[in-house]
Structure 1
Amino acid sequence: MNNIQGNNNYMDLRLLCFCTTSNVSSPCLLMNIIFFFLLNPYHQHQLILLPEHLPHHSKMFKRLPKTQSFTSAISQKGFSWVFPTEREEYQFLIANPKAMQDLGLNEEESEDPEFQSIVSGEYYNDKTTYIKENFPKPYSQAYAGWQFGQFAGQLGDGRVINLFEIPKSTPDGQNRNFYELQIKGAGLTPYSRFADGKAVLRSSIREYIISEHLNAIGIPSTRALALTYLPSTLAQRHGAERCAIVARFAESWVRLGTFDLYRWRGDRQGVKLLADYVINELFTINGVKFQNFERIVNTKPELLKDNGVKLEDLTEYDKMYYESIVRNAETTAICQSYGFLNGVLNTDNTSILGLAIDFGPFSIMDKFDPNYTPNSEDHQTRYGYRNVPSAIWWNLTRLGEDLAELIGAGKELLSNPEFEEAVKEEWEDGIIKRATKIIETGGDIYQYAYTKKYVEMFFNRLGLPHELIDAKNPDLQMTDVIQPMLDVLFKIQTDFNLFFLQLQNIDFESGTVNYVEIAEREFLANFEFNTFRHHKEDLLKVISEWLIVYHEMLEKTKQYKTTTPNPAMYNPKFLPRNWILDQVIDQTSSSRGAETSYLEKLQKMSSNPFDESKWGDELKELEKSWLLQGNKGDEFAMLQCGCSS
């Protein structure tokens, strides 16, 4: 890993959707792109049908309801049947109790040899057992993607194999009531290209830990069930590294890149069938469709009205597009509020559900720096903190182009049987014009949904009620409260997340408040000002001025009868930093999986970040060290990773 500190070129972080990162500011450019797609399909392929439900596994999950039928067939052009590659040795390391609970399993079941065999892929070495037990046949999916702004063609699950689908133990009302289980690092697939189908232990530990941590702090994320070490399997990365397999699950693994694939193939019917699957299976929750889009547009109807769009004129394809926009905007805002950066956010790494997905060179930002990127290979900081919101919108614009025919058609054309066959020349201008308007309106929806959630998340962390937010214009609170706070954080360079823990423990109620004294005691006590870029007096002034604003906001909360957010529920006491992950990886790797005490400790802390009573009594000195977080020292802060995994 490398250590990076950004420069002091600080700018307002309010979202500019159509900035230089976006490349979609020109309606003419957008229309040309859509026009090219309508008239120039690359080549025809057999269509792809997605299942309404994958069959449930019928043995490991004995207590769960079972089904054996596909409602649709998946074409060989969109997936490939493939079995995990047999390995010489399998060594089960760990399973996550919360993940098992959400799958309806007891924690003790992780000790079952059958469970361990399935989550490692070893179960499938005998190609007949799964048939006898009525398991579905495993497969890998194809998708395409735009990577760092360039179209990369067909990609797909190069080392991931999908096993089966299982019901959630408790429906959450946010997503469908099923999880799809897959294993990563399971071997070569038809989509491996020039790769080896392996995942090294280093990256597997990182993904295993961060998946469950993000879920624990409230970031919509894919999940991690179990980690298996492969002692005799080596992969060549920077050097020879030993490998592992992560069993992971999510409500769906459909990505924006899945739509990219069908568009690239010129598969009109495939795009429509995939969109129908997303609408009916993924975006219909307990009979209600597009609940996140409806919530946003009900709060601010002007988002449509000001663009000349009527809600009653929107088709289900328009709403599907907007639903994915809102989901991704809000997840991005939550990630930004905690300083979580994925490091690689291509269209094949962007979930249609708005889940955080595919964790490579990620990082928790130790100190606030808008120029920071966790990816050492991201030289243009495309996926750095400052640019992430625009990068996700760029991806969503590509989705709009993938859906151009469907969102450009409108209700009348969609009901025309001839539209199923082809796009007539006389329809083209109308389709282009409407698709352009839908996408541009989507930009306004994205900016609003992102900003609103960003402000709400910081208000949660500050213990301020949402009634203090102008629901239709959250930019006001962004300007008055959040932006000055970020300016303070940038200047004092204290730990980004520990700042909120310190703040929530300040007593503003006991007598006269001395803001300068609080500023010095809480935030500047350990600074070496002779090496810092700001004078102490200047820092005390900017901190105390913001504390006054914050205190005034706290006083306003007394006017409201609603419950004020408890900041302790939003400010985790622990986040797994890169230097901590490195320590865990070093112990597990050097012992060849024989010593997992650090891994087990990290799982307890990262999966229960708000509740130290669940961290256990072991390794207390290590725990104390880890709680230093970003204040461990400059050599431990703002680390970067490469993409090698």
Structure 2
Amino acid sequence: MHAPLPSVAVPAAIGELNWTHRLAALGPRFYTELPPAGLPDPHWVATSADCARLLGWPATGWQTPEALRVFSGNALWPGMRPLASVYSGHQFGVWAGQLGDGRALWLGELDTPQGPMELQLKGAGRTPYSRMGDGRAVLRSSIREFLASEAMAALGIPTTRALALTASTALPVRRETTETAAIVTRVAPSFLRFGHVEHFAHHGLHDELRELVQHLIEHHAPQCQAAPQPVVALLAQVATQTADLLAHWQAVGFCHGVMNTDNMSLLGLSIDYGPYGFLDGFDPGHVCNHSDTQGRYAFARQPQVAYWNLHALAQALLPLIPGDEEAAAALLREALQAYPDRFAQAMLLRMRAKLGLREARDGDGALVDDWLRLLAATRVDYSIAHRRLGEAQLPAGAEGLRDLFLDREALDAWLRRYRDRLAQEPEDPAQRRAAMHAVNPAVVLRNHLAETAIRQAEAGDFGEVQRLLDVLRRPFDAPERAADADFPPDWAQHIEVSCSS
């Protein structure tokens, strides 16, 4: 029996909070209710002003001692109701059985100017779904998740958010070495995953499956209710949202690292930042997760893996389609076709924008593909190449771009085709450069930037975490410190991130 946590006052800067518990209304078959296991003697590491504003809070003033207790798992605000949800899933393509929130606790849904937002503590101790784990998160991985959540949001990529990061040196956690315990407060319209649906389908719990999907449609996809087959319409919507998300990832050069079905959001959000990475040199075969020895989740494979995961979701939804099973399966396959069609369109749209092309013309796909082949041939830095392509719109600006390539003749041949294409939609070069810089980030969260912040934080200095957060909030602006947008240092080649990261 877990002892209840004390209730503490909400900071005056926030005012009254209105909590709802729509997920909890589904009943205890969907979760286990229990309090978090707090951090002893906690301290703030960082907070996100942007995420606070998303909730309708001020940027500052809410970080009181009472709030620190709440976001380190030692107290609750009135109306919070902590619980861990159950789900299952496929991990590295293999059915893994029951999983669930093994180190995350849902606190409830908060009314915000953006609609209901769920708050969740990650790293708040063992739950019935922790399996052999301790339910804790370490400072290293928590900094990575905190920064990535806010960096992706600033890039315009759908994502869960991070409000706060707390830690405690009084609670050592054993991983490869002894590390510092930490808790990230995560925010999202919903943390429901493909794995939630798979769990009830796999165990033949069709009544519960129906309740869960009805909850999802009612609260997160109400437009599907009027469709002839609401469940089929829901799958098509999830497929479309997932296609848009993957186009975002591929266009910006983001590698998730662990695209298991339990790490796939039913709302098309980036979720569960573990061994992720942004590309340095462009390598379609890049594997950012040191644990992924087979390369299942290599960068270029991500779109196809998402499609595979959608098929697993469709299989889980099959019991909810009335009538003949073969006809039902055909309906779901048709809904899944929304994914490849939408992904191809969304990807080409984003790559056109990265190349400064506003209009759709025949041959654009080939031009984009050949550009990516050029980058891949000698692993040209992905982010820097696109920024310099923007600079190449101005007189003499192409020299900086040409410096990136060993085979300049191949680049020059491509540039001639590219300039011929630009001539088909004349625009002021400075305006085109500005438009390209607005979609090609100057700064992304490269591993070495995160690693530097982590090393300083582990030494007790959290200033670099906050500084880097401030830089990542403005990814398309030229950074004050040129090193943030520069090539990675040589030592960055030796950084390894794995599922424990």
TM-score relative to the length of structure 2: 0.92
CA distance in 1 between partners of 2:218 and 2:20 (Å): 20
Deviations 1:100-139 (A, max 9, x none): 1111111122432222222222214xxxxx5xx3x23211
CA distance in 1 between partners of 2:381 and 2:285 (Å): 16
Partner residue of 2:373 out of 464, 477, 487: 487
Deviations 1:277-305 (A, max 9, x none): 11111013xxx449xxxxxxxxxxxxxxx
> Which residue in 2 is equivalent to 1:600?
466
Instruction: From the superposition, tell whether residues 596 and 555 of structure 1 become closer, same or farther in structure 2 (CA, over 3 Å).
Output: same
Deviations 1:11-33 (A, max 9, x none): xxxxxxxxxxxxxxxxxxxxxxx
1:282 aligns with 2:220: yes
Deviations 1:586-624 (A, max 9, x none): 111022xxx112111111111221235xx6xxxx6xx33
Gaps of 5+ in 2: 1-7
Q: Give the partner amino acid of 1:641.
A: V
CA distance in 2 between partners of 1:73 and 1:250 (Å): 18
1:233 aligned counterpart, secondary structure: strand
Instruction: From the superposition, tell whether residues 640 and 372 of structure 1 become closer, same or farther in structure 2 (CA, over 3 Å).
Output: farther
Structure-to-structure mapping, 1:225-240, within 5 angstroms: 225-240=163-178
> Which residue in 2 is equivalent to 1:523?
401
> Which residue in 1 is equivalent to 2:485?
627
Displacement of 1:68 = 5.7
Instruction: From the superposition, tell whether residues 363 and 71 of structure 1 become closer, same or farther in structure 2 (CA, over 3 Å).
Output: closer
Contact preservation (8 Å) 1:90, 1:122? no
> Which residue in 1 is equivalent to 2:87?
143
Structure-to-structure mapping, 1:90-489, within 5 angstroms: 90-124=42-76, 133=78, 135-169=79-113, 171=114, 177-284=115-222, 288-289=223-224, 314-407=228-321, 409=322, 413=323, 430-431=324-325, 433-465=326-358, 467-468=359-360, 477-478=364-365, 480-489=366-375
Instruction: From the superposition, tell whether residues 546 and 355 of structure 1 become closer, same or farther in structure 2 (CA, over 3 Å).
Output: same
Displacement of 1:487 = 0.7
2:298 aligned counterpart, secondary structure: coil
Aligned positions, number: 490
> Which residue in 2 is equivalent to 1:580?
449
CA distance in 2 between partners of 1:525 and 1:241 (Å): 42
CA distance in 2 between partners of 1:339 and 1:70 (Å): 36
Partner residue of 1:86 out of 13, 29, 38: 38
CA distance in 2 between partners of 1:353 and 1:313 (Å): 18
Instruction: From the superposition, tell whether residues 63 and 557 of structure 1 become closer, same or farther in structure 2 (CA, over 3 Å).
Output: farther
Q: Give the partner amino acid of 1:280.
A: E
Contact preservation (8 Å) 1:110, 1:116? no
Displacement of 1:553 = 2.4
Structure showing greater Rg? 1
Identity of aligned residues (%): 29
> Which residue in 2 is equivalent to 1:558?
426
Q: Give the partner amino acid of 2:360.
A: L
Instruction: From the superposition, tell whether residues 556 and 223 of structure 1 become closer, same or farther in structure 2 (CA, over 3 Å).
Output: same
Q: Give the partner amino acid of 1:157.
A: D
Contact preservation (8 Å) 1:344, 1:375? yes
Higher relative contact order (CA 8 A, sep 6+): 1
CA distance in 1 between partners of 2:195 and 2:303 (Å): 18
Displacement of 1:313 = 8.2
Displacement of 1:236 = 1.0
1:158 aligned counterpart, secondary structure: coil
CA distance in 1 between partners of 2:376 and 2:159 (Å): 28
1:641 aligns with 2:497: yes
Partner residue of 1:505 out of 391, 395, 403: 391
Contact preservation (8 Å) 1:223, 1:250? yes
Instruction: From the superposition, tell whether residues 349 and 183 of structure 1 become closer, same or farther in structure 2 (CA, over 3 Å).
Output: same
CA distance in 2 between partners of 1:547 and 1:91 (Å): 53
Gaps of 5+ in 1: 1-56, 125-129, 172-176, 291-311, 414-429, 471-475, 511-516, 528-535
Partner residue of 1:549 out of 395, 409, 417: 417
Displacement of 1:464 = 1.2
Instruction: From the superposition, tell whether residues 151 and 70 of structure 1 become closer, same or farther in structure 2 (CA, over 3 Å).
Output: closer
